[in-house]
């Protein structure tokens, strides 16, 4: 008789947990996965999938406008938010059922209740307890709200995906990728959007040229970027609107407030510390390079570890845990050169090092920068620019980073992520024949280095800290300079 009920018990049925459970079952393990909500996790239920569907919906506003330049007498029809949300929900329901079917077809058992560790091998699930030789924690992350008076009036990205109707005015608090993406969605759908952030401009941690370029494009689209601003309090007015008091005494009146000020590992009430699992100083589950916690038979993957909050990373980690436990062919997850995309409008994508990070570790860095108007907009007349950037090790000629803001950026960067993973050099980029005309060809046609200089910061530019909108682009072909060649 088996000592434990299961060989592997997974807590959390998101992308990482499902991948680990499915593969473990395929390897012949007795597997169960516990989920108190819907199967699919953050990405499928309340994250990247529904958000991307809303991004697609928002893009039609641009498409109708651009069509006239190509001979189409396009008049944008009335937009129906309820239809978009209903259809989005239908797709999420379908994916939820697909995940459940995949688990069942591979022999995994689904347990629908909240889980809590009682001891290192025992998990309380609802009103019963089960035991497992190995436990995987894959409970993801959850939005964090700032501790300010009136915060109960604000929503998070979770609720933003389920709004019953669109507001006329909206304030988004935060400057990270979630805030930027939702600002683009709601702005394109006709909402008057202001984005309030503490930082000098959006997307702290991304390459400075990309941050500034995207901020400029958002401002041109009408998003009101309020940088160097902190919300002190929120107050509901008699009319049902809300007043936000900013640090410098300014008041903003709005109809809806969304906070996108970060996410934290979703570990409250799981009993991890009681089972001996160490929580690190960031409030995440501490793990080693094999996703193993301080308890050797308890593993953790995905957002709950605070390493890389990206669905493909969680999936890769989950697969590796299954191999470590039940296969004779374990590998090591390589966290270098992970591509990233921000589904903003226009989108941003990158892989590898920023210029700032490259200079911090290498005294000789070459930078190549191309700024251009996408061909599609030559007839439509849209005032939108793209920027492509390469960061190169000047000694070895190896490409350290690829960055792009503009049309199809996420689709373009995926292939270049393979090139960086393979250690491609600038000479190999140059020897590659481009596809013309395309935006992607810019990566293999740049020949002129940007003049030597220290890495710049967003604060060096004239517009990121302005409290109001409007265009003040230094990236224009009509006004080139040494630092921003056309």
Do 243 and 179 reside in the same domain of the chain?
yes
pLDDT confidence of residue 482: 29
Contact 70, 381 (CB under 8 A): no
Do 318 and 411 reside in the same domain of the chain?
no
- Among 304, 326, 348, the domain-final residue is 326
SS3 content of the chain, % helix, strand, coil (to 5): 35, 25, 45
Give the strand pairing for 31-34 and 109-111: parallel
pLDDT confidence of residue 74: 74
> How much of the chain exceeds pLDDT 90, in percent?
87
Q: Is 296 left (phi over 0), alpha (psi -120 to 50) or beta?
A: alpha
Which helix (H) or strand (E) segment holds residue 365: the answer is strand 365-372
Q: Is 408 left (phi over 0), alpha (psi -120 to 50) or beta?
A: left
> Does residue 169 sit in helix, strand or coil?
strand
Provide the domain count of the chain. Answer: 3
Where b means 16+ CB within 10 Å and e means fewer, 181-201 reads: bbbbbbbbbebbbbbbbebbb
pLDDT confidence of residue 460: 66
Contact 105, 98 (CB under 8 A): no
Higher pLDDT, 362 or 125: 125
Closest by CA to 303, choosing from 14, 109, 1, is 14
Catalytic residue among 59, 153, 371, 436: 436
pLDDT confidence of residue 247: 84
Which helix (H) or strand (E) segment holds residue 224: the answer is strand 224-226
Do 102 and 20 reside in the same domain of the chain?
yes
Do 430 and 451 reside in the same domain of the chain?
yes
pLDDT digits (tens, 9 = 90+) for 411-466: 999 999 999 999 999 999 999 999 999 999 999 999 999 987 656 667 665 544 44
Q: For residue 145, is pLDDT > 90?
A: yes
Least confident of 135-149, 340-354, 459-473: 459-473
Do 276 and 135 reside in the same domain of the chain?
yes
Do 275 and 179 reside in the same domain of the chain?
no
Q: For residue 107, is pLDDT > 50?
A: yes
Do 135 and 239 reside in the same domain of the chain?
no
Do 233 and 273 reside in the same domain of the chain?
no
Do 173 and 200 reside in the same domain of the chain?
yes
Q: For residue 121, is pLDDT > 90?
A: yes
Q: Which domain holds residue 102?
A: 6-143+264-326
- Among 245, 261, 277, the domain-final residue is 261
Higher pLDDT, 352 or 464: 352
Q: For residue 1, is pLDDT > 60?
A: no
Do 319 and 373 reside in the same domain of the chain?
no
Q: Is 59 a catalytic site residue?
A: no
Assess if residue 368 is contained within a domain: yes
pLDDT digits (tens, 9 = 90+) for 171-225: 999 999 999 999 999 999 999 999 999 999 999 999 999 999 999 999 999 999 9
> pTM, whole model, 2 decimals?
0.92
Do 33 and 61 reside in the same domain of the chain?
yes
- Residue ranges of the alpha helices (H) in 106-147? none
pLDDT confidence of residue 362: 85
Assess if residue 403 is contained within a domain: yes
pLDDT confidence of residue 456: 64
pLDDT digits (tens, 9 = 90+) for 362-405: 889 999 999 999 999 999 999 999 999 999 999 999 999 999 99
Q: For residue 474, is pLDDT > 50?
A: no
DSSP-assigned letter for residue 123: E
Assess if residue 162 is contained within a domain: yes
- CA distances in angstroms from 435 to 148, 160, 403, 405, listed in the order given: 52, 39, 18, 18
Give the whole-angstrom CA distance, residue 343 versus residue 15. 20
Mean pLDDT of 129-139: 97
Do 139 and 287 reside in the same domain of the chain?
yes
CATH code of the domain containing 105? 3.50.50.60
Residue whose entry in the numeric block shows the structure tokens 């993957």: 301
pLDDT digits (tens, 9 = 90+) for 248-279: 899 999 999 999 999 999 999 999 999 999 99
DSSP-assigned letter for residue 94: H
């Amino acid at each position: 008789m088996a000592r434990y009920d299961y060989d592997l018990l997974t807590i959390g049925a998101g992308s990482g947990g499902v991948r680990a459970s499915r593969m473990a079952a395929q390897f012949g393990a007795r597997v169960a996965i516990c989920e108190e909500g819907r199967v699919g996790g953050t990405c499928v239920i309340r994250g990247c999938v529904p958000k991307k569907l809303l991004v697609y919906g928002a893009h039609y506003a641009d498409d109708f406008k651009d069509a006239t330049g190509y001979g189409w007498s396009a008049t944008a029809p009335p937009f129906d938010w309820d239809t978009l949300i209903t259809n989005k929900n239908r797709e999420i329901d379908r994916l939820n059922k697909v995940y459940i079917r995949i688990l069942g077809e591979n022999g995994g058992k689904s347990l629908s209740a909240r889980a809590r560790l009682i001891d290192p091998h025992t998990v309380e699930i609802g009103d019963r307890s089960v035991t497992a030789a190995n436990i995987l924690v894959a409970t993801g992350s959850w939005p964090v709200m700032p501790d300010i008076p009136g915060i109960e009036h604000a929503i998070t990205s979770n609720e933003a995906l389920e709004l019953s109707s669109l507001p006329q005015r909206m304030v988004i608090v935060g400057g990270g990728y979630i805030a930027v993406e939702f600002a683009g969605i709601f702005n394109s759908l006709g909402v008057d959007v202001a984005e309030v952030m503490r930082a000098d401009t959006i997307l702290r941690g991304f390459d400075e040229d990309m941050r500034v370029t995207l901020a400029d494009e958002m401002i041109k689209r009408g998003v009101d970027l309020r940088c160097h601003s902190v919300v002190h309090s929120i107050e509901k007015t008699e009319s049902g609107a809300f007043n936000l008091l900013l640090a410098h005494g300014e008041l903003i009146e709005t109809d809806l407030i969304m906070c996108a000020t970060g996410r934290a590992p979703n570990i409250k009430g799981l009993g991890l510390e009681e089972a001996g699992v160490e929580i690190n100083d960031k409030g995440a589950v501490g793990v080693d390079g094999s996703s193993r916690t301080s308890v050797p038979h308890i593993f953790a993957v995905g957002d709950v570890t605070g390493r890389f909050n990206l669905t493909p990373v969680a999936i890769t980690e989950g697969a590796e845990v299954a191999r470590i436990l039940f296969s004779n062919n374990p590998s090591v997850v390589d966290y270098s050169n992970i591509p990233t995309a921000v589904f903003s409008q226009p989108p941003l994508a990158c892989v590898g090092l920023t210029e700032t990070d490259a200079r911090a570790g290498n005294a000789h860095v070459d930078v190549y920068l191309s700024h251009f108007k996408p061909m599609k907009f030559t007839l439509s007349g849209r005032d939108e620019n793209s920027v492509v950037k390469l960061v190169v090790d000047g000694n070895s000629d190896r490409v350290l980073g690829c960055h792009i803001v503009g049309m199809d950026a996420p689709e373009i960067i995926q292939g270049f992520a393979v090139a960086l993973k393979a250690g491609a050099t600038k000479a190999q980029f140059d020897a590659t024949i481009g596809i013309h005309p395309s935006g992607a060809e810019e990566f293999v046609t740049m020949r002129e280095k940007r003049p030597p200089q220290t890495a710049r910061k967003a604060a060096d530019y004239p517009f990121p800290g302005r409290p109001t909108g409007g265009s003040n682009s230094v990236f224009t072909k009509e006004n080139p300079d040494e630092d921003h060649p056309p």
